[in-house]
Amino acid sequence: MNKQIFPLLIAQFLSVFADNAILFTVIAIVMKSAHPVSWYIPALQSVFLIAFVVLAPWVGGLADHYAKSRILIIANLIKASGAGLLLLNVEPLLAYCLIGIGAATYSPAKYGILPELAGHQFLVKANSWIEGSSILAILSGMFIGAKAADYSTEYALTGTIVLFAMSAAVTLLLPAKVAVLESVDPAAYESKVITFGKQMGRFFTKPRSRFAMLGGSLFWATAATLRVIIVAWAPLILLLQNATEIAELTLLLAVGIIVGSAMVPGLIPLEHLRRARIPAYLMGLFIIVLSLTDSLWPARFTLFFIGMMGGMFIVPVNAALQEQGQQTIGSGSAVALQGFFQNLTMLIGVGSYTFAASQHADPVITMLGLGLLVFIATFLVSLHLPDNQT
């Protein structure tokens, strides 16, 4: 595999670490303030996701028409600016929305550069490394970020700004090249929204690309909704009291995703993408089991299995999407298209839970409903998917 994958691993680790440190720092800020935790934290997640949905027609083309490594640097600087606003006590909803803009810009370039560095033979393996290191960054970022925020939110936010700057510096080691697509007509100046709609139509014509798009949306919508449910569920059912304890609860969830990501290259190659539906079914089943759990250690082990199934599901889905995108509309545009759908579904999921929480819905019932929806959605997105690809 191209050795330039290693600077990407380091740079995205630092950026994802800072992303999750900020999330739990904001949670700590809210828990220490007069804001009602039950709906304000889901609202924060919602404003973050809005940036992905609104900017999707533009950020994919940005990644495909300019050097992806340089887009990564710009995105890190935008996220650092959002952290700076939090440090200046700007309204968290506004500051976190700016961080979402940076993240929406970062994602297509991060995943879109992988086919350029790894090629077909190592694409699943490269995705496994990226997902594994991302989850390790999520794990360590939320744990250390929560610890730092419980001690001092100012120190925690300053640390994240430094990490975004370090990630931008490491990204300078990546090649600054632009992948030219023969199918792109440089003389076409039509609306980005119209172009985005045409790309959407082209990408959904094949069962594999449709499954990859909807499958990725299912995974991330489930993850986002489960995370905000846990923030309300853990204090009520497990009697957890602060951001650090909630972060510790998700430890085995993150470890499970790392384990699942490491196992999947030998179990679900791109030629047998249909197998990915099996861990998706099991992920929904374990979420149902979690909703019936009322003690700490069973909850931790159940979260581990949810994570492991999620890791085994999302890695081949991402690899298939990137390869299909590189062959059709451009890998950056494909990731942006995925970002639009997965963040739209995340916004719907988190927004629905935000409304339910404002109406004092029982988090146990909402978690049970989420597990059932995952099971049903997996069946629907798997329809008409061929078993293999020659």
Helix 363-382 and helix 207-233, axial crossing angle in degrees, nearest 10: 170
Domain boundaries, position 116? 5-173+191-382
Residue 201: is its pLDDT beyond 70? yes
CA–CA dist 290, 278 (Å, integer): 19
Report yes or no on 182 lying in a domain: no
User: What are the b/e assignments for 251-286, b being 16+ CB within 10 Å?
Assistant: bbbbbbbbbbbbbbbeebebeebbbbbbbbbbbbbb
Dihedral sign (CA 101, 96, 14, 114)? negative
CA–CA dist 141, 135 (Å, integer): 9
DSSP 148: H
Number of domains in the chain: 1
* Residue predicted with more confidence, 364 or 340: 364
pLDDT by residue (tens digit) across 286-299?
999 999 998 888 99
Q: Is the distance from CB of 227 to CB of 44 less than 8 angstroms?
A: no
Domain CATH for 141: 1.20.1250.20
Report yes or no on 365 lying in a domain: yes
Q: Is the distance from CB of 167 to CB of 109 less than 8 angstroms?
A: no
pLDDT by residue (tens digit) across 260-290?
888 877 777 766 777 888 889 999 999 999 9
Q: Is the distance from CB of 75 to CB of 344 less than 8 angstroms?
A: no
The average pLDDT across 368-372 equals 92
DSSP 240: -
Report yes or no on 118 lying in a domain: yes
Report yes or no on 15 lying in a domain: yes
CA angle (71 as vertex; 195, 4 as ends), nearest 5: 115
Report yes or no on 390 lying in a domain: no
Report yes or no on 360 lying in a domain: yes
DSSP 35: S
- Per-residue model confidence (pLDDT) at position 314: 85
